[in-house]
Amino acid sequence: MVKPDGVQRGLIGDVVSRFEGRGIKICAMKMMKIPKELAERQYEEHKGKSFYDSLIAYITSGPVVCMVLEGDNAITVCRSMMGETNPQDAPMGTIRGDFALHTSKNVVHGSDSAESAKREIELFFNDYEIQKYQRIDEPWLYEGKL
């Protein structure tokens, strides 16, 4: 997800381009303003923590771009590309290392496990919104596809 700060700063194209350039397939994408109830479901594991209310206020403050990404080890690869949650710990060359300064406005969100990805995808997308297709360059990206 490109978060509200990333959208407001015009970074959608930069973020999408990095994933696509790496060989990650975009299977679904949409822009939306997250309703408070949906945000509360998305971040329910943080309920009761000191930053929860400000997190909900932030993620609902403006539009986001939600995506379903696919590729070999996509979660690990995408999280590596995003960099550490705290941008001050994220290396240059990562999305957060290049574009963010503070944890509370760190441009992107990515699922941390297959279980989280499944849950979050189900929150934001219907089955018909997720496309299955083969990129023309997949034989050049993946072992054993040529």
**Contact assessment for residue 30 and residue 65, using Cβ atoms and an 8 Å cutoff:** yes
Q: Which long-range contacts (CB under 8 A, 24 or more apart) does 35-39 make?
A: 35/60, 36/60, 38/123, 38/124
* Helix (H) or strand (E) segment spanning residue 10: none
Our answer to whether residue 102 is catalytic in this structure is no
Residue 116 to residue 137: CA distance in whole angstroms = 28
Check 109, 110, 120, 124 and give the catalytic one: 109
Catalytic residue IDs: 109
